[in-house]
Amino acid sequence: MADIIKLLPDNIANQIAAGEVIQRPASAVKELLENAVDAGATDIQLLVKDAGKELIQVIDNGSGMSELDARMCFERHATSKIQTIDDLFHIRTMGFRGEALASIAAVAQVELKTRREQEELGIYIEIENSAVIKQEPCQFHVGTSIAMKNLFFNVPARRNFLKSNAAEMRHVVDEFIRVAMAYPQLQFSLVSNGQELFHLDKGSLKQRIVGILGQSYNAKLVSVKESTDYMNVYGFVGKPDTAKKTRGDQFFFVNNRFIKSPYLHHAVMNAFEEMIPADSYPLYALFIEVDPAHVDINVHPTKQEIKFDDEKVMYAFVQAAIKHSLAQFSITPTLDFEL
């Protein structure tokens, strides 16, 4: 019998791998925004058409890329952010897997423009099915623009799997908010079908939260700030009367990375116990800073699940920090409400 095993061609392998990283427009939004942050940008614009199904474009004023890097960045496992597995435990960048652009280039038509400060002309590259189909010099400001068009144009089964524009747009906005909230010192905007939905000037964390959630929260945020040798927690919780029956205004960040943690969510709920109705959720935007050696962020390709080496310490600390803040603002149940 003849041998039957063959290596998959790169573009097919990339398409398969892309399934893990890019499930929907919002996943690409997250990856492109994080790349802009990692590139040291201070002004980041996100443009989408049809909830990202037709176009997702991120324009930044970050470092830009050299001509060679502009081609390399679309290779799988190509990254400037880590070199050894050890680096993972000191990581300060949002990215490190070197998979996002390779995945995007496998499932969308991509147009890249980029220029570094030391270059007079930038470089323009067009990619389809993981292959460069056009490359030429271009005029461009220092920074990078990556436009991806017709997501899943070559994977119709995935394209059909996408939800309505309204549903996909909600995910896009969620990802935008998560990155924008983590970096109040950077300017962000979101334009959807030509209409500006967010314009967030750089400012304090409080200004950023209010800019995102609405001006009415300005007088409703209680600051949280507690430190130990092991970790810091800071951010804001909403006063008890802002608790809602629906979820959505709960944000945890670990070393500036948005994470989902039912366990830490429970710690917050616990701190609010008896101050809010049992079936409602308090608003919170909490930032935990901990030595990267104490967390494993490489649990899942989207990096939204992480492992702490000592979860119980985290839980107790978060809960205590919030209780402390709420007490200081005289809104514990034992004191008279004066809100």
Cβ atoms 113, 145 nearer than 8 A:
yes
CA distance 169 to 312: 36
95 is an interface residue for Mg ion by CB under 5 A: yes
**DSSP state, residue 49:** E
15 is an interface residue for ligand ADP by CB under 6 A: no
Q: How far is CA 271 from the centre of its chain?
A: 27
Q: Which helix (H) or strand (E) holds 194?
A: none
The correct pick among 22, 41, 100, 318 for binding Mg ion (CB under 5 A) is 100
Q: Which of residues 40-79 bind ligand ADP (CB under 6 A)?
A: 60, 62-65, 73, 78-79
175 is an interface residue for ligand ADP by CB under 6 A: no
98 is an interface residue for ligand ADP by CB under 6 A: yes
The correct pick among 15, 27, 35, 187 for binding Mg ion (CB under 5 A) is 35
Rounded to a whole number of angstroms, the minimum distance from the CB of residue 119 to Mg ion is 22
Report the b/e string of 67-76 with b at 16+ CB within 10 A. beebbebbeb
The correct pick among 25, 28, 48, 96 for binding ligand ADP (CB under 6 A) is 96
Closest C-alpha to 257, from 95, 62, 19: 95
Q: How many Cα neighbours within 13 Å face the side chain of 21?
A: 26
Read off the tokens for 151.
């997501």
Nearer to Mg ion, 50 or 111 (CB): 111
Rounded to a whole number of angstroms, the minimum distance from the CB of residue 54 to ligand ADP is 21
144 is an interface residue for ligand ADP by CB under 6 A: yes
Which residues sit at the interface with ligand ADP, rule CB under 6 A? Answer: 31, 35-36, 39, 60, 62-65, 73, 78-81, 95-102, 144
